[in-house]
Every structure is written in C-alpha cells, then in structure tokens.
A = this chain, B = another copy of it.
C-alpha cells in the first residue's frame, strides 16, 4: 500500500470506531468517548505482522470488552476486494489498550 492508502485505511478505522462508540448504549463507553474527545482524540498507529494478527487482536479486544473494528478494503484501487487492512481499537482506557498492544511497534 502507498502511504496515502495506508493513511486512508487508518482514517476509515478511526471513523468506524468513533461511530461504534457513538452508537453504544453502554454508559462507560459514552464516558470514555467524551474523555477521549476532550483530550484531543489521541490516536497511535502500530504495525502488525500480517492479516492473522489483526484477527487475533480483534478477538482478544472483544474478550477484554474493548471496541475493535476491522477495515475491509473495497478493492477499487491497490488491493483485492475484502482485504483486511487495519484494526481500529478503542477508544478505551490506556491501561486496557496497553495490555492488548504494548508488544507492537509504531508504524
């Protein structure tokens, strides 16, 4: 993927997570979303080894009760349709997210 394509996929993930948090009926999720917005919507982009890591991390996030959404590309440009490109995680408490991703390096 080009840098621009990567950035667009990360932007998709951010909006999908944001929408999921907005639509959640969970009061704690609403509070976390408000805090996240009030603190400047921090985002960090990390690198994984490949497709299987995205699936595994999503499963682990769900076990921990953390919002997690995989972006599947529509296949209009550089990738095959249905390719998983990014896993969006959160917003959630730093301590919970760190448990999940502290072993990963920055992109």
Interface residues of A (CB under 8 A from B): 2-15, 18, 40-41, 43-47, 74, 106-107
Minimum CB–CB distance for A102 against chain B, Å: 16
In whole angstroms, how far apart are the Cα atoms of A6 and B74 in the complex? 22
User: Who on chain B is nearest to A72 by CB?
Assistant: B40
Which residue of B8, B14, B44 contacts A45 across the interface (Cβ within 8 Å)?
Answer: B8
In whole angstroms, how far apart are the Cα atoms of A40 and B2 in the complex? 20
Which residue of B2, B4, B15 contacts A14 across the interface (Cβ within 8 Å)?
Answer: B15
Give the top 7 A-B pairs by smallest Cβ distance, nearest first: A4-B107, A4-B45, A11-B14, A7-B10, A7-B7, A8-B43, A7-B45
Q: Is the CB of A12 within 8 A of B74?
A: no
Given known A-B contacts A3-B107, A4-B107, A106-B2, A74 and B11 have beta carbons under 8 A apart? no
User: Which B residues touch A43, using CB under 8 A?
Assistant: 8, 11-12
